[in-house]
Amino acid sequence: MDTSFWLQKWEKNDIRFHESEVNPILVNYFKELSLVKGNRVFVPLCGKTLDIAWLLSHGYHVAGAELIEIAIEQLFMELEVEPKISAAGKVKHYSATNIDLYVGDIFNVSSKMLGPVDAIYDRAALVALPEKMRHRYTAHLTEITAKAPQLLISYEYDQSLMTGPPFSISNEEVNQHYGDKYDLTLIASADVPGGLKGKCAAKENVWLLQRG
């Protein structure tokens, strides 16, 4: 992963990808995962998303992985929680009540380190990765979570009109990554208001991935 690219973004506070409110897709469709309070949700490449606070406030336990430590430091400050910090292999483990976040390359996060996962909420991970890395990521994600069900958000647009991230991921590509591992359901698809980053027309797709 391009650590320098993302580190520069956070150091300059150029984080337009960070949403200033809870993602409405989470609010509207998280119930599709049929979880109960106390279930553990993994949020890959989580940044300091407000979605984590929403999950915690609704009684879920949260695990996450994030490349940039600044993001996780800010997340805990905004949660007004003091984390315990420890080494876990090649990554750092930030932990507090009902929350475990791993700072470093997600490919250095193992299933043993992560522990049990009841569901995955991928709002900004798959779409953040270049094509050559997405196959490795999806294989790794399903391995370390024991193929936990997913709520996945993707975008589809003419990639020639804009460079990612977020990258365009067709429905066919989603099937290539996950079709042999999950039953896939496209539960929502809508035009992005004003276009993606105001540059080009795009669709935002919401997928439910359930164990086959």
Take residue 73 and report the two structure tokens written for it: 């430091």
Per-residue pLDDT of the chain (212 residues; tens, 9 = 90+): 566 665 576 656 655 555 678 999 999 999 999 999 999 999 999 999 999 999 999 999 999 999 999 999 999 999 999 999 999 999 999 999 999 999 999 999 999 999 999 999 999 999 999 999 999 999 999 999 999 999 999 999 999 999 889 999 999 999 999 999 999 999 999 999 999 988 899 999 999 999 97
Q: What distance in Å separates the CA atoms of residue 71 and residue 46, rounded to the nearest whole number? A: 9
Are the C-beta atoms of residues 97 and 88 closer than 8 Å to each other?
A: no
Domain 3-211 has CATH 3.30.70.1150: no
Residue 34 contacts by C-beta under 8 Å, 6 or more apart in sequence? none
- Best CA proximity match to 99, nearest among 144, 61, 137: 61
pLDDT, tens only, 17-70:
556 789 999 999 999 999 999 999 999 999 999 999 999 999 999 999 999 999
Take residue 116 and report the two structure tokens written for it: 């049990």
Are the C-beta atoms of residues 41 and 55 closer than 8 Å to each other?
A: yes
End-to-end Cα distance, the chain: 30
pLDDT at 19: 63
pLDDT at 129: 94
Take residue 205 and report the two structure tokens written for it: 């797709």
The residue ranges of every structural domain in the chain are: 3-211
Are the C-beta atoms of residues 42 and 120 closer than 8 Å to each other?
A: yes
pLDDT at 20: 72
DSSP character string of the chain: --HHHHHHHHHTT--TTS-SS--HHHHHHGGGG---TT-EEEEET-TT-THHHHHHHTT-EEEEEES-HHHHHHHHHHHT---EEEEETTEEEEEETTEEEEES-GGG--HHHH---SEEEESSSGGGS-HHHHHHHHHHHHHHTTS--EEEEEEEE-GGG---SSPB--HHHHHHHHTTTEEEEEEEEEEPTT-BTTTB-EEEEEEEEEE-
pLDDT at 145: 98
pLDDT at 14: 55
Q: What distance in Å separates the CA atoms of residue 167 and residue 35, rounded to the nearest whole number? A: 29
Q: How many residues does the chain have?
A: 212
User: pTM above the 0.85 mark?
Assistant: yes
